[in-house]
Amino acid sequence: MSYTLPIHFAPLQGYTDATYRRAHAHIFGGIDTYYTPFVRMEHGEIRRKDIRDTNREYNLGVHLIPQLIASKPDKLKQIMSFFIENRYKDININLGCPFPMLVKRHNGAGMLPYPEEVKNLLTTIIENYPQIRFSIKLRLGWENTNECLTLLPLLNTLPLTHIILHPRLGKQQYKGEVNLSGFENFYNECDKPLLYNGDLHTIEDIQTVTERFPKLAGLMIGRGLLSNPALAWEYQQGEKLPLKEIIEKVRLLHTEVYNHYKEQLEGGEKQLLMKMKVFWEYLLPDSNHKAKKTIHKATKLTDYWIAINNLFSSYK
């Protein structure tokens, strides 16, 4: 088998929670590292759902790096203490989030146009927590692609384990093409282990990127794995998993996630339905269109289950 790069599962707020990660890890596998969606301070506290999501007990069998987002070093202290109490030694810092509410307060990609703020945040956190290994996840910039290049001399001097670059601008959100020549400019000058992230949906997409950037340290995949949860395994094995087996595994994934949400969620049928609709949003995009639409429209669990059974039986 030819050499393959480690695959990291991208954090996707609302999608890749502990329940999903754990089920994915043991049903599909192929992932080197999972990340929590970003943890942040809200009204002076860490959200209860983030505390549960990061708890070791809920993440057994998963190699997990928690991620944080903050605009200033003093906002980090409580999150860092929480991660350290939970015995995490690797932590990822988000400099890529494009959500307008966070960006306007210079969080995530909103900090990229301000190199002094990035320097202050990163150097303070690294100095204050010498026992922790840090990595960062960023975009090319908020407004223009020079922003990441301006930061690169600083990033090259910091003891980062790796950098994950998503080659879009913050203001693009997730629209438009990824900018591979923007990625290349950063790649050429980056001394740290660099991971590529963005729009990898097939083994062929992965090959295109790894051939163009042979010194990559890894790949991060988000929506491609939500659509085809076997993608990392397929890349590692160098072969496609037969559709029948994918569907069988999706069925197991669905059962485990459903049962876990049912046990865990306190909001009853409505909340369970909402979470399960999110579960299906990217999954199996080529599957029976009508069944997917019925899942999306279901207002009762009985309707939901009729749609699920129709969807699975359409593969028989």
Ligand X SMILES: Cc1cc2nc3c(=O)[nH]c(=O)nc-3n(C[C@H](O)[C@H](O)[C@H](O)COP(=O)(O)O)c2cc1C
- Say whether residue 96 binds ligand X (CB under 6 A): yes
What is 76-124 written as a DSSP string?
Answer: THHHHHHHHHTT--EEEEEE----HHHHTTT-GGGGTT-HHHHHHHHHH
Confirm if 50 and 27 have CB atoms less than 8 A apart.
no
Spatial CB neighbours of 198, under 8 Å, sequence gap ≥ 6: 166, 167, 168, 178
Q: What letter does residue 71 receive in the DSSP assignment?
A: S
* 177 versus 239: smaller Cβ distance to ligand X: 177
Check binding of 229 to ligand X (CB under 6 A). no
CB of 21 to ligand X, least distance (A): 13
Shortest reach from residue 231's CB to ligand X, in Å: 10
Is the Cα torsion angle 300, 247, 54, 100 positive or negative in sign?
Answer: negative
Dist. CA 83–CA 50, nearest whole Å: 11
Which single residue brings its beta carbon nearest to ligand X? 222
Minimum CB separation of residue 271 from ligand X in Å reads 18
Nearest CA among 136, 69, 131, 81 for reference residue 106: 69
Of 33 and 197, nearer to ligand X (C-beta) is 197
Size of the site for ligand X (CB under 6 A): 22
Kindly state whether residue 38 participates in binding ligand X, applying the rule CB under 6 A: yes
Of the residues 199, 205, 269, 303, which one makes contact with ligand X according to CB under 6 A: 199
| Nearest one of 215, 225, 224 to 183, comparing CA atoms | 215
167 scored as a contact of ligand X (CB under 6 A): no
Residue 191's contacts (CB-CB under 8 Å, 6 or more residues apart) are 156
**Smallest separation, CB 205 to ligand X (Å):** 10
In angstroms, give the least distance from the CB of 183 to ligand X: 12
Residue 14's region, left for phi above 0, alpha for psi from -120 to 50, else beta, is: left
Cα separation of 166 and 223, whole Å? 13
Quote the least distance from Cβ 198 to ligand X, whole Å.
5
Pick one of 6, 7, 8, 10: the residue that binds ligand X (CB under 6 A): 10
Q: Which is nearer to ligand X, 200 or 284 (CB)?
A: 200
Residue 13 interacting with ligand X (CB under 6 A): yes
CB of 170 to ligand X, least distance (A): 11
Site for ligand X (CB under 6 A): which residue of 21, 24, 40, 137? 137
Q: Which residues bind ligand X (CB under 6 A)?
A: 10-14, 37-38, 67, 94, 96-97, 137, 166, 174, 197-200, 221-224
